[in-house]
Structure 1
Amino acid sequence: MTQPLPLAVTIGDPAGIGPEIIAEASAQRETGLDLPHFVLVGDANAAFAPGEPSRASAQCALDALERAVNMVRAGECSGLVTGPVSKAGIAEIAPSFIGQTEFFADACGMAREDAVMMLAGPSLRTVPMTVHCALADVPGRLSHDLIVQRSRIVAKAMQTDFGIEAPRIAIAGLNPHAGEDGRMGREEIEVIAPAITTLRSEGIDASGPHPADTLFAPHKRSTYDVAIAMYHDQALVPIKALDFDEGVNVTLGLPIVRTSPDHGTAFDIAGKGIARPDAMIAAIRMAGEIAARRNLA
C-alpha cells in the first residue's frame, strides 16, 4: 500500500496536550518509527500557555480544522488527523459546533447522521449509535432506520477502510439484559431486532441484540469485528478501559479520511512533559493505512 500525499495533522487546542504529543510523534518518526509523512496545521505565530485555554486558543483550533479539511478536499493531503479540541471552547465561537464528527459532516456537505464515529484500538472497535446527546434522549432518537443506515455505513467502511471482506457486526441492546424479553424495556423487540433482521436480509452479518454487560468480555470480542452500541458511554467506556492509550476516533462514511486520538485536551497535564503520544501515533498510523487502501481502490 502506498500513500502518495502527506496527512494533515491539526494542532488541536494549543493550550492542551496536542502540540506536545504531535511533536513527540514527529520526533519518533524522525528516529525511525514507521509512520506516514504528515504536515502540521496550526498558527505558527500563536503563543499560548499550556493549561490555560482561552477564546483565542479555541479559535486557533477551529481555524486549523477549517484549513485542514480544505487541504484534504483540495487533494493537497491524503487524510486528516485532528488534535484534541475543547468542544465547549469552540462552541462559544461557533454555537452549532457539537463535536468534530458533526463538523466534518457539515464540511463535506453531508447529513450529520451519515458521519459515523467509531472508536478503534488493538482490542476493540465500537460504534455509538447515538453520540452527543443526553442519556434521557437516547430512546427517542433510536429508530429502525437509524440503526440500519448507520450499520450499513459501518459494514461498508470495514470493507473499504479496514480490508475486512465480510465484517461481523455485533449489535448491543439498549436495556439491561437486552430488555429480557420486554420486561426491562421494549426497544430491543420493537426497534433493534427488526433493524438486525433488515440488515441480515441485505447480506450483512449482523447479530444481536446482545446484552451490553457481556458483549465486551474477552471471549465475546473474538466473535465480531465491530460492536455497535446504542449510546455514547456504552461504546466509549469499554474502549477507554481496554485501549485508552492507543484508542483512535475514526469518522466513517466521509469522502475524506479522518482520525483522531481518542482522548481530550488534558489541560491539567499540558506542558508537564507527561502526556503520552501513543494515541496520536496510532491515529496517524491508522489514517495512513486507510488512505493507502482508498488509494488502491
Structure 2
Amino acid sequence: MNKPLIGITIGDPAGVGPEVTLKALKNREILDSCVPVVIGDINVVKKAASIVAFESDINVVDNTDDCIDHKVNLISLNNMKDSYQFGMIQPECGRAAFEYIKKGIELALAGKLSAVVTGPINKEALNLAGYHYSGHTEIFADLTGTKDYAMMLTGGPLKVIHVSTHVSLREACDRVKKERVYKVIKLAKKAMNDLGLKSPRIAVAGLNPHAGENGLFGDEEIKEIIPAIEKAKEEGINVNGPLPPDTIFLHCKDGKYDIAVVMYHDQGHIPLKLLDFMGGVNVTVGLPIIRTSVDHGTAFGKAGKGTADETSMIKAIEMAVQFATNR
C-alpha cells in the first residue's frame, strides 16, 4: 500500500476518544487518504461502535502487515474489561490509555506506522495509574528520548507554537530564555517545512504588554527574545518580532505570517480556540516520529452518549497524513 499507515490511539476508555475515533473513520475521505490503524481494546471499541452506530466491519490485526485498505484496522491490547464506567476517573483507564500511547510510539519508531494520532486522555487517571506525566507531549518526548520539542496548535487561520505549556504562569515567565526561544523558532521552521513551506514567515510574540515598550513594561524582550530572533535571522530564518501579543494574531489571521511563536500556554491557546474551537489540532514538533492529536479533553460529560463532535479528530488525521506525505 502506498498510503500512509496512521495509528490512532483511542485515549481514555471512559472518555469520548473511542467514539470520536469511530465517527471520524466513517468519513470516506479519511479512508481514501490513509490506512487507519486503531490502537485500543476490542471491548472498548465494540462498545463505542454500538453507541455511534458504526456498522462497518473492524479488521482486528496483530501487526500492521495485516492491515487492509479501506477498512478500519484494530490492534487490540486486550487490556480493558467491560466493568469500566463512562465519565469517571479510573486508574485502570489511565493505565490502558498509557499502554495505547506506548504501543503507538513503539510501532512508529520501528517504521510500522507513518504517524500517530492520539485521542484524549485524563491526566488525573494517568497519574493515578502511576504514570506521572503532565500530558501527551511529555510522554512522547520521554519515550522517544527527545530533548528539544514544542507544542504546536493549528486551527482555522492560525498556527501557534509554544515556548512553554503546562506550567504555572509565574514559571512560564521564568522560562522565557534566549536559548529556548531560539530553539522554538527553529522548531517552528521545521514544522512548516514538514508541511511543505520552504521559507515560512515566522512571527514571535512578546511576553509583556506592548512587547515591553522598550523596557517600560518589562525587559524580557530586550534580554531574551530579541537576541533569540537575531540569532535565528543570522541563520537565514524569515522571522520577525517581538510583536505585541494583542496584535500578533490579527496579523497571522490576515495571512501576513504563517506561524506565531508564543511565550506560554494561554497566549496561544486562547486566540486559536476562539477562532476554531472544534477544529483545533495539537502537534508535537521535534520528535523523530509524527504525532498529532485532537485539541480537546475526554469530555466526560458527553462520554457514552454518542454526541461528541469528531471534527478535531478528522483534522488531526488529515494533518498526520499531510506530514507523512511531505516527509
Structure-2-length-normalised TM-score: 0.84
Query: Structure 1 residues 283, 181: closer, same or farther in 2, change over 3 A?
Result: same
- Please state how far the C-alpha of 1:35 moved relative to its aligned partner: 4.2
Is 1:14 matched with 2:13? Answer: yes
- Indicate the residue corresponding to 1:26 in structure 2: 25
C-alpha RMSD over aligned residues: 1.7
2:186 is the alignment partner of 1:152: yes
In structure 2, stretches of 5+ residues that fail to align are 44-79
Tell whether the 8 Å contact from 1:215 to 1:221 is kept in structure 2 after alignment: no
Q: 1:265, 1:28 → 2: CA distance?
A: 21
Partners of 1:115 and 1:39 lie apart in 2 by 25
Asked if 1:291 is matched to 2:324, the reply is yes
Deviations 1:51-95 (A, max 9, x none): 123111111101100111111111211110000001222122235
Q: Deviations over 1:174-208 (max 9, x none)?
A: 01111112111110111111111111111011111
Q: Unaligned 5+ residue runs, structure 1?
A: none
Q: CA, structure 1 residues 213+199, in 2 after alignment: closer, same or farther (shift >3 Å)?
A: same
Mapped contact 1:5–1:76 kept (Cα < 8 A): no
Query: Which position in structure 2 is the counterpart of 1:126?
Result: 160
For 1:137, give the aligned amino acid.
E
- Encode CA deviations 1:214-256: one digit per residue, 9 max, x unaligned: 1112676411000011000001011111111111001111111
Task: Report the CA distance shift for 1:92/1:10 in structure 2 as closer, same or farther (over 3 A).
Answer: same
Residue 37 of structure 2 corresponds to which residue in structure 1?
39
Which residue matches 1:216?
Answer: 249
C-alpha separation in 1, matches of 2:176 and 2:192: 22
Residues 158-177 of structure 1: pairs in structure 2 closer than 5 A: 158-159=192-193, 161-177=194-210
Contact residue 12 and residue 85 of structure 1 kept, 8 A: yes
SS in 2 for 1:71: helix
Deviation at 1:3, TM superposition (A): 5.0
| Aligned ranges 1:37-186 → 2 under 5 Å | 37-45=35-43, 46=80, 47=82, 48-111=84-147, 114-159=148-193, 161-186=194-219
The number of residue pairs the alignment matches comes to 289
Amino acid paired to 2:146: M
Contact 1:15/1:270 (CA < 8 Å) preserved in 2? yes
Mapped contact 2:152–2:282 kept (Cα < 8 A): yes
- 1:191 & 1:218 partners in 2: Cα distance? 23
Contact 1:181 1:189 in 2 (8 A): yes
Contact 2:4 2:325 in 1 (8 A): no
Structure with larger Rg: 2
Comparing both chains, which one has the higher relative contact order based on Cα–Cα distances under 8 Å and sequence gaps of 6 or more? 1
Q: Percent identity?
A: 43
1:270 is aligned to 2:303: yes
Distance 1:206 1:185 in 2: 22
The answer as to whether partners of 2:30 and 2:317 remain within 8 angstroms in 1 is: no
Query: Contact between 2:281 and 2:312, CA under 8 Å: does it hold in 1?
Result: yes
Deviations 1:129-159 (A, max 9, x none): 1111100112211110111112112212211
Mark the CA change 1:118 to 1:175 in structure 2 (over 3 Å): closer, same or farther.
Answer: same
TM-score norm. by structure 1 comes to 0.93
